[in-house]
Structure 1
Amino acid sequence: LRLRKFLKQAEYKYNVGIQDLVFKPGRSLTEFMDFRIFKGLFQLDMLKDIRKHVAEVSSHPKLKAILEFPVLFLGALPQNTPALYSLMNYADMSLGTWYPMGGMNKIIEGMVSVAKEQGVKFRTSTEVTGFKYSNGRIISVLTKGGSFTADIVVGGADYHHIDQKISSPEYREYSPEYWEKRKMAPSSLLFYLGVKGKVNNVLHHNLFFDYELDQHAHEIYTDPTWPTKPLFYASAPTKTDESIAPEGCENMFLLMPTAPGLSGDSEEVREKYYHLMMDRLESYTGESIRDRVIVKRSFAYSDFKSEYNSFKGNAYGLANTLDQTAIFKPRL
């Protein structure tokens, strides 16, 4: 009953967030002068932290960890995150986690198809190197493949990269010192695995909470370091969609949250955590998996930087703390 009440409250926050907050541009405080928002201010639990809110539901450590785990990716410890973000629990547990048959790339293919129908042209593998300005406005985008004129430019890349690397110095909004003070969401260490044969005793989604959440969270936010006893997520999408692997094989990936900006992202370090996670996965499933891995790719801090120009190698952007939300976000 307490969990149902918790999710009902989370549903209200989710609906207010989606309907009244998410699509506001975040340019002025007046955007939030909305009677419904003020009326429901206390229901949004802006002044209570998620840890206290979860404690009202259960004292069981596993359930508490499950309910607190999603906020680990927001950029702060559960005790420093507003209970507003229980809306993530509603999205996960009530609305469910959805998967596009054929793989996550099907979403991209669908968006590209719709865009092309509307006349959009895509220039892939074309790195943007700068902008050309006139009277303080961008009039063209400079790339390694030439320049492209535009009436409006929408920057969807990393905030820091656009401001500090692409924009001309005289048009940069912020100083390097400003960016160094920003709180970033975690980075991640991922392993993409192709396994010969099926893996038993796993589902599409698997959370390994066999160690304390607090220690891992502390090593992300309070004392950034490579985790001692990491929690991790293991996905086996072939349990839902067998088309994404050769017949009789398993498509899997492992994800371990890490602090952004960590040094020492070497193959040796990656292998250490690969075996830490695989030890626990094999112990749980009761079968050998490593000797059946026929495809293995890793992706971590340095890859987020090189592939996405991600500031400090973060995987999720700016931390979603109140002092970096809405009107407090950087403006470009």
Structure 2
Amino acid sequence: MKKTIHIIGSGFSSLAASCYLAKAGYDVVVFEKNDNIGGRARQLKVNGFTFDMGPTWYWMPDVFEKFFADFGKKPSDYYQLEKLDPAYQVYFGKEDSLTISGNLNEILELFEKEEKGSAKHLQRFLNTAKGNYDVAVKNLVYKPGISPLELITPETIVRLHHVFGNIRKQVSKSIKNKKLLKILEFPVLFLGAKPQNTPALYNFMNWADFGLGTWHPKGGMYKVVEGMVNLATDLGVEFVTNATVEEIVVNEVGEAIGIMINDKFLSADIVLSGADYHHTETLIPNVYRQYSEKYWTKKTFAPSSLLFYVGFDKKLKSVCHHTLFFDTEFDVHAVSIYDTPEWPKEPLFYASFPSITDNSFAPKGKEAATFLIPLAPGIEDTNEIREYYFNMIIERLEKLTQQSVKENIIFKESFCVNDFINDYNSYKGNAYGLANTLTQTAFLRPKIKSKKVKNLFFTGQLTVPGPGVPPALISGKIASDLIIKFNR
């Protein structure tokens, strides 16, 4: 008789795990508290506009290819990809922006134009980054985070200085232009930590950026979710929405034996949670929790976010599909995220205008936009504060791009700390999980296999390998591998 696995949550890690476990012969049911599948990667459709509510960047396409290849499939069996060129644009001030090409040779030319001699240094840096990418992404990140010995290989031994160095020191060693340095440090934002606190090994994100490029799935990131759901369904996975898990039931000998939903007990041989790790442990008795409240309060969390989904009644000028507004100092903004949690006085922000690339995102002649401000988790969140910051970034957008847009807004919806808590049970309303600092990497992250409850496992951004969509796919594979290993 097939063993039954109940998966809590339907984000990318849960979807990936469900596919691997169904393929391995388990009877898999995924329970999602919201009314649609995808976790934080939900989609909002309103008035002819479409918005990806969560991830908007498609990086590291090889990780997606590897996932689908494990089932004899290709991403193109489920969605169509377009490489963005330009990849993104960065504003540093009025009439002061750099556009990053989708072509590496053109990026090298741009660097050389901004700082003589920097192209040579960038090429050397990227050679190192590619080597780290090959070691880390094709090997290390697929380790289960059980032992520090997982990190000891002939390839990693020669890269030890990358583990104990940091991104900031590395990128500023040979390149001095402040704008170029900001661009080189930008990918670290995906890891949820300051550049000076991020191990230099993570420069592989720069290879993901410049070497592998930025892509767009036609129809948005939710097309990836739909593709994974279709694959899972074909493999026999069952999905149940509007299903809030109230308890993970643990028997008298410390075994997870099922879950409670709407006061109804549903038995299972194994429980895998892709929901927030901290929240999941509140669903079991105190005696079985691995990590105390004190443990969580001491951790460095990746930022939360203030997001705005905005529809304009005209096409915007002087912006790209992905546009970064770095006209203020990130180090100052970072203090308000990581050191003294508070609302930033002059935040950096990011904007996505997918309708520039993809007509399905907005009615003809109109523009869909998503704006994001990184924030400290756990700070006060009110409608008045949200409105204050919306007006701030719209005014800066108008000034930097030299156009009027505020009077052209025909739709606006926001999403912030309170929504991350309410919709995703997110600890302090964080958006990306635990930051990838040196002391929160690999075996130092919360464990996938519970140390106290038999047949209880975890997956997602609070465990290995960390924040981001590609790591979430990998986390789902790691969790499923461990479940199969311990339940043969």
3-state SS in 2 of match to 1:52:
helix
- Say whether residues 1:325 and 2:444 are aligned partners: no
| Correspondent of 2:219 among 90, 94, 102 | 102
SS across alignment from 2:122: helix
Partner Cα distance (1:220, 1:72) in 2: 12
Residue in 2 aligned with 1:16? 135
- Aligned residue for 2:351, secondary structure, equals strand
The answer (yes or no) to whether the contact 1:126–1:145 under 8 Å persists in 2 is: no
Q: Which runs of 4+ in 1 moved over 6 A?
A: none
Q: Which residue of 2 aligns with 1:217?
A: 334
CA-CA distance at 1:270 after TM superposition: 0.6
Q: CA deviation at 1:75?
A: 3.9
- State how far apart, in whole Å, the 1-side matches of 2:197 and 2:439 are: 12
Say whether residues 1:77 and 2:220 are aligned partners.
Answer: no
Superposed CA deviations along residues 27-71 of structure 1, whole A, max 9, x for unmatched, are: 1223233233224334xx112121111112421111111111232
Contact 1:130 1:168 in 2 (8 A): no
- Structure 1 segment 102-141 matched on structure 2, within 5 A: 102-134=219-251, 135-141=253-259
In structure 2, the residue corresponding to 1:99 is in which secondary structure? strand
Fraction of identical pairs, as percent: 49
1:48 to 161, 165, 170: 165
SS at match of 1:190: strand
Q: Which moved more, 1:72-81 or 1:199-208?
A: 72-81
Deviations 1:125-184 (A, max 9, x none): 211111122321111111127332222221111111111x21222211122111111111
Aligned-partner SS, 2:311: strand
Number of residues of Structure 1 aligned to a counterpart in Structure 2? 328
Residue 476 of structure 2 corresponds to: none
2:307/2:415 contact within 8 Å kept: yes
SS in 2 for 1:19: coil
Q: CA separation in 2, counterparts of 1:13 and 1:36?
A: 9
Quick one: which of 299, 306, 328 aligns to 2:415? 299
**How far did residue 190 of structure 1 move?**
0.7
Deviation at 1:299, TM superposition (A): 0.7
Q: Which amino acid aligns with 2:338?
A: Y
1:228 aligned residue: 345
Shift in Å at residue 117 of structure 1? 0.2
- Report the alpha carbon displacement of residue 73 of structure 1 after superposing the two structures with TM: 4.5
Structure 1: distance between partners of 2:383 and 2:442: 38
Whole-Å separation in 2 of the counterparts to 1:41 and 1:73:
23
Does the Cα contact within 8 Å between 1:190 and 1:300 map onto a contact in 2? yes
Residues 193 and 297 of structure 1 are in contact (CA less than 8 Å); yes or no, is this contact kept in structure 2?
yes
Distance 2:220 2:159 in 1: 39
- Counterpart position of 1:162: 280
- Which residue number in structure 2 is paired with residue 151 of structure 1? 269
C-alpha separation in 1, matches of 2:358 and 2:435? 33
* Aligned residue among 391, 394, 409 for 1:278: 394
Which stretch of the first structure deviates more once superposed, 183-192 or 26-35? 26-35
Residue 203 of structure 1, aligned match among 301, 320, 323: 320
Partners of 1:31 and 1:52 lie apart in 2 by 26
Paired amino acid for 1:120: V
Bigger relative contact order (CA 8 A; separation at least 6):
2
- SS of residue in 2 equivalent to 1:154: strand
Per the TM alignment, residue 286 of structure 1 is displaced from its structure 2 partner at its CA by 2.1
Give the Cα separation in 2 of the matches to 1:55 and 1:258.
26
Contact 1:195–1:292 under 8 Å retained in 2: yes
Query: Unaligned 5+ residue runs, structure 2?
Result: 1-119, 451-488
Normalised to the residue count of structure 1, the TM-score between the two structures is: 0.95
Q: Any gaps of 5 or more consecutive residues in structure 1?
A: none
SS across alignment from 1:304: helix
User: Quick one: which amino acid aligns to residue 411 of structure 2?
Assistant: V
> Equivalents in 2 of 1:22, 1:224: separation in Å?
30
Cα distance in 2 for residues equivalent to 1:14 and 1:32: 14
The aligned amino acid for 1:158 is D
1:35 corresponds to? 154
Q: Does structure 1 residue 191 correspond to structure 2 residue 308?
A: yes
SS of equivalent residue, structure 2 residue 414: strand
Contact 1:224/1:259 (8 A) holds in 2: yes
> Distance between the aligned counterparts of 1:72 and 1:104, measured in 2?
19
SS at match of 1:226: coil
Contact 1:69 1:213 (8 Å CA) reproduced: no
Q: Do the aligned residues in 1 keep the contact of 2:163 with 2:438 (CA within 8 Å)? A: no
**Stretch of structure 1 that moved more, 311-320 or 25-34:** 25-34
> Which of 273, 289, 295 in structure 2 is aligned with 1:178?
295
- CA-atom RMSD in angstroms: 1.5
Q: CA deviation at 1:76?
A: 3.2
Which 10-residue stretch deviates more, 140-149 or 209-218? 140-149
Report the counterpart of residue 65 of structure 2 in structure 1. none
**TM-score w.r.t. length of structure 2:** 0.65
**Selected match of 1:89 from 193, 202, 206:** 206
Partner of 2:356: 239
